[in-house]
């Protein structure tokens, strides 16, 4: 990657441009692999649901009905960045471990729907909001040796003993889903990692996957590949877990900065996936102190009215 960037800079300078202009991120429509920082692991295969381009899929027939119950008069909110909630740098952290990291037993509140294997947790395990948080306390750990992902929700540790509300594990090179009806660390029964905005990919200029988001009222249904739901109504007039939304192709992004346009391009090409209950139109990113405050503020100017639901029935 470093050699490629150097070549881009040299070519730009030779053409009369500047190094600063050459390295500025810009939206790309490529199949570039941006691995999880600190690893060579991509968050699932290129043909995975999260990584599939959906700009040409039809609008879902229920789009207008769902959106009428989703506070479309408001703006999106980046659920990550500096100084909010469990700050100062909030979001869901990613812990990367090596081959020989110690593994521990984790007890689960939702034991029958959790994966019972030993998790590579320890003093280095980062927990969303910190270990004393009153929030969701997600933990996401990637083993860089075998590219195995471990995720837990409501993660606690006391005297060296680990407990969580639920937990799940995936091999990042596989498209295998959890059993239908099982939760994960997310209400939709999906992995969280592939839907997180990560600073290293935004900085590189390409986000090649859908983005995880929440809304406050969901139905007791789920759409493939979601495996679970946690809604408060049986009505299909409300969006189910796994519903996918896309920024309309005609939404004008020219007033946004280059890095914001990287994210907006992903919202047009890959969309948003409804994965949990929460505040309406909160979309998720990793906890990383490098997120520029100006970018976070800019992302708060994205109107929810710019989105439509996508019919993903052809994807499975």
More confident of the two residues 165 and 11: 165
- pLDDT at 3 > cutoff 90: no
User: What pLDDT, on the 0 to 100 scale, is given for residue 182?
Assistant: 98
User: What pLDDT, on the 0 to 100 scale, is given for residue 32?
Assistant: 66
- pLDDT at 14 > cutoff 70: no
% of the chain with per-residue pLDDT over 90: 86
Q: Where are the domains of the chain?
A: 25-93+178-315
- pLDDT at 105 > cutoff 80: yes
- pLDDT at 111 > cutoff 90: yes
N- to C-terminal Cα separation, the chain: 34
Report pLDDT digits (tens) over 222-259.
999 999 999 999 999 999 999 999 999 999 999 999 99
Confidence category of residue 29, pLDDT binned at 50, 70, 90: very low
CA dist., res. 108 & res. 155, Å (int): 9
More confident of the two residues 6 and 155: 155
Residue 205's alpha-carbon distances to 198, 221, 259, 316, in angstroms, are 11, 35, 7, 29
CA dist., res. 308 & res. 316, Å (int): 20
Give 238's strand partners: none
Confidence category of residue 24, pLDDT binned at 50, 70, 90: very low
- Give the mean model confidence (pLDDT) for residues 288-301: 96
Confidence category of residue 31, pLDDT binned at 50, 70, 90: low
Contact 202, 25 (CB under 8 A): yes
Token representation of residue 136: 């969701």
User: What pLDDT, on the 0 to 100 scale, is given for residue 88?
Assistant: 76
User: What pLDDT, on the 0 to 100 scale, is given for residue 39?
Assistant: 97
Residue 243's alpha-carbon distances to 66, 84, 218, 226, 236, in angstroms, are 10, 27, 10, 9, 11
Comparing 23-27, 154-158, 295-299, the range with the smallest average pLDDT is 23-27
- Give the mean model confidence (pLDDT) for residues 192-203: 98
């Amino acid at each position: 990657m470093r050699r490629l960037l150097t070549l881009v800079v040299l070519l730009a300078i030779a053409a009369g441009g500047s190094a600063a202009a050459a390295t500025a991120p810009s939206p790309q429509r490529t199949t570039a692999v941006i691995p999880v920082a600190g690893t060579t692991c991509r968050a699932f295969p290129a043909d995975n649901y999260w990584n599939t381009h959906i700009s040409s899929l039809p609008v879902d027939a229920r789009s207008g009905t769902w959106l009428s119950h989703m506070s479309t008069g408001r703006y999106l909110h980046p659920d990550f960045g500096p100084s909010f909630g469990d700050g100062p740098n909030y979001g869901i952290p990613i812990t990367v471990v090596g081959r020989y990291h110690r593994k521990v037993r984790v007890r689960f509140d939702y034991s029958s729907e959790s994966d019972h294997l030993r998790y590579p947790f320890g003093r280095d395990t980062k927990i969303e909001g910190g270990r004393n948080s009153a929030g969701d306390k997600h933990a996401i750990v990637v083993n860089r040796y075998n590219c195995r992902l471990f995720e837990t929700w409501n993660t606690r540790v006391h005297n060296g003993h680990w407990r969580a509300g639920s937990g799940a594990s995936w091999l990042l090179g596989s498209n295998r889903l959890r059993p239908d009806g099982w939760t994960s660390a997310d209400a939709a029964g999906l992995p969280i990692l592939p839907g997180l905005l990560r600073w290293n990919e935004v900085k590189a200029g390409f986000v090649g996957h859908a983005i995880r988001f929440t809304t406050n009222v969901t139905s007791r249904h789920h759409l493939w590949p979601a495996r679970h739901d946690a809604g408060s109504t049986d009505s299909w007039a409300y969006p189910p877990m796994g519903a996918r939304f896309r920024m309309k192709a005609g939404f004008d992004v020219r007033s946004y900065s280059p890095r914001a346009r990287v994210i907006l391009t992903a919202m047009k090409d890959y969309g948003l996936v409804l994965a949990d209950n929460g505040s309406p139109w909160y979309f998720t990113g990793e906890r990383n102190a490098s997120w520029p405050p100006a970018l976070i503020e800019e992302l708060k100017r994205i109107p929810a009215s710019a989105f439509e639901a996508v019919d993903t029935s052809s994807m499975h």
